[in-house]
Amino acid sequence: MLVAIIGGQAKDEEHLARIAASAGHQLEFYRTEAPGNDVRPRALVFEALDRADLAVGALRAVRQDPYFDAVGALLALSEAPAGGSELPGEFDDFVFHPYTRQELQLRVRALARRRPGAGGSDGTQLEGVAVEEASRTLHLEGRVVQLTAREFALFQHLCEWRGKVLSREHLLTRVWGSRYSGGRRTVDIHVRRLRAKLGSSLPLETVRGVGYRLLPPAESQPISSAVREPTLSSSS
């Protein structure tokens, strides 16, 4: 089965092939560029045609890796799925094969609006901050802030999971990927860089012994500093 990878990096193909093969699925991949040069793929399109059952098994294997569990998945079929509007497995949407590039782009953009963590600028909303995703540029308080690819990926993920406490392990897996072999300290370094660049515009709370939490609007308004250290148990 052929799978289109929308965005991401070239090395994602090898990683996906290895995951699928370990579960007994032989997949071939091709990658198409997506606006923004995302660190993580925006979507995966499984060209199942008339074998949706094979695509379901392959997607379940892929979802076993947390690196891909927030990536949207589309099913490309030669005819409408059985049962009318209900999609098989864990797919988010479907397209008819053959499809055009323009149609696929529209589907991926719609998926980003519906599915948290599937990519797109809708997940990077922060008060007083305008985001230019393609250039990884933020505009705040009359300043232009340029982020690196990894800083922007971290910023996106914090916004997507706003209000949730995210452990360093979670951030390493979701932002750096399960293939990353470095230590947790890299998360703290990148958080420190984001805070230095964004200041109080980034209401990011450090949760001792756990990780980080981007405060929701209702809690971030009274906070004058970008860092707040709550008194929590560090037994975790």
pLDDT attached to residue 191? 96
Q: CATH topology for 2-114?
A: Rossmann fold (3.40.50)
Task: Using alpha carbons, select from 146, 148, 152, 143 the residue that is nearest to residue 200.
Answer: 143
pLDDT attached to residue 236? 29
Q: What is the mean pLDDT of the chain?
A: 78
* Sheet strands side by side (includes 137-140): 129-132, 137-140, 143-146
Q: Is the pLDDT of residue 79 over 90?
A: no
User: Tell me: the pLDDT tens digits for 114-133?
Assistant: 654 444 444 456 778 888 87
User: Tell me: the pLDDT tens digits for 189-200?
Assistant: 999 999 999 998
Same fold for the pair 2-114 and 148-220: no
List the chain domain ranges.
2-114, 148-220
Q: For the domain bounded by 148-220, which CATH number is listed?
A: 1.10.10.10
pLDDT attached to residue 222? 40
